[in-house]
């Protein structure tokens, strides 16, 4: 992870969010998809990374399955720390195809997500991984 102190802090917060929401669904790959969604939100003008992290709950389908801190020596978590630079600087290919939302369609707990994402004909399904579905 590269950058000044504030940039490293932001990237570590992004990785923590991706880990909490994604590690339950397929380890590192699901986490990386969620990190791409967070980057896509920033690129789409949703605000700064810190604002996007502060408002993740507003847009999620359900709370994260993992609520504890990651094991800092877990190789999947360490890999996320190594991948975040490529996501933030747009050199890593986006496998979500520009997704702005994600959710496990077998566990939607948010009425907002159900009505404004899943049932909204303007939101298109653009990627899937296990039971996670990505929309833009």
Pairwise CA distance, residues 76 & 70, whole Å: 10
Give per-residue pLDDT as tens, 56-80. Answer: 999 999 999 988 888 889 888 999 9
Pairwise CA distance, residues 85 & 7, whole Å: 10
Give per-residue pLDDT as tens, 22-57. Answer: 998 878 999 999 999 999 999 999 999 999 999 999
Cite the beta strand spans of 37-123 per DSSP E: 101-104
Q: Is the pLDDT of residue 2 over 90?
A: no
Pairwise CA distance, residues 133 & 136, whole Å: 10
pTM score of the predicted model? 0.94
């Amino acid at each position: 992870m590269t950058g000044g102190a504030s940039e490293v802090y932001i990237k570590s917060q992004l990785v923590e969010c991706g880990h909490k929401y994604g590690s339950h669904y397929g380890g590192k790959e699901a986490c990386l998809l969620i990190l791409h969604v967070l980057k896509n939100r920033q690129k789409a003008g949703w605000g700064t990374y810190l604002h996007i992290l502060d408002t993740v709950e507003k847009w999620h389908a359900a709370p994260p399955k993992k609520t504890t801190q990651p094991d800092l020596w877990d190789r999947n978590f360490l890999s996320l720390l190594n991948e975040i630079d490529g996501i933030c600087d747009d050199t890593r290919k986006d496998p979500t195809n520009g997704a702005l939302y994600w959710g496990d369609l077998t566990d939607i707990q948010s009425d907002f997500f159900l009505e404004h994402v899943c049932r909204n004909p303007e939101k298109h399904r653009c990627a899937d991984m296990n039971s996670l579905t990505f929309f833009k």
